[in-house]
Amino acid sequence: MSWCNGEAKGESVACVALAWLLAKPHVSSIIIGAKNEEQLSDNLAASDLVLDSADLAALDEMSVLPSEYLGWMIERLLGLGRAPKNAR
């Protein structure tokens, strides 16, 4: 998916990542770390970037963390069919 690196949206990876965070209802604020005016402008552009529901769903899916020990053990015992990819 080329849009995940910002190509299809015409934006940088940082801009897409910040826009994704801004779309989350449970995120009340984000902290940007710009070293120069170009990075600051790029980071601020995230407030104008609108990701559609398909974009948000794809980013959510890619960012899912693997279950930790107790979670994957319960899933296995309940027969949910998820084996740990990298159990801790």
When the pLDDT of each residue in the chain is averaged and rounded to a whole number, the result is 83
Question: pLDDT tens for residues 69-83?
Answer: 888 888 888 886 555
Distance of CA 13 to the CA centre of its chain: 11
Mean pLDDT on 58-76: 86
pTM of the model: 0.68
The residue that leads in pLDDT, 82 or 18, is 18
The pLDDT, as a whole number, for residue 5 is: 54
pLDDT of residue 87: 52
For residue 1, what pLDDT is reported? 45
Direct distance between the N- and C-terminal alpha carbons of the chain, in angstroms, rounded to an integer: 29
DSSP-derived letter for residue 54 is H
Backbone angles phi, psi at 40, to 5 degrees: -65, -45
Residue pair 43/14 in contact (Cβ under 8 Å)? The answer is yes
Of 1-10, 56-65, 66-75, least confident by mean pLDDT is 1-10
pLDDT mean over 45-71? 90
The size of the chain, in residues, is 88
Token reading at 29: 């604020």
Which whole-number Å values give the CA distances from 29 to 59, 62, 73, 75, in the listed order?
A: 19, 22, 34, 33
Domain range annotation of the chain: 2-77
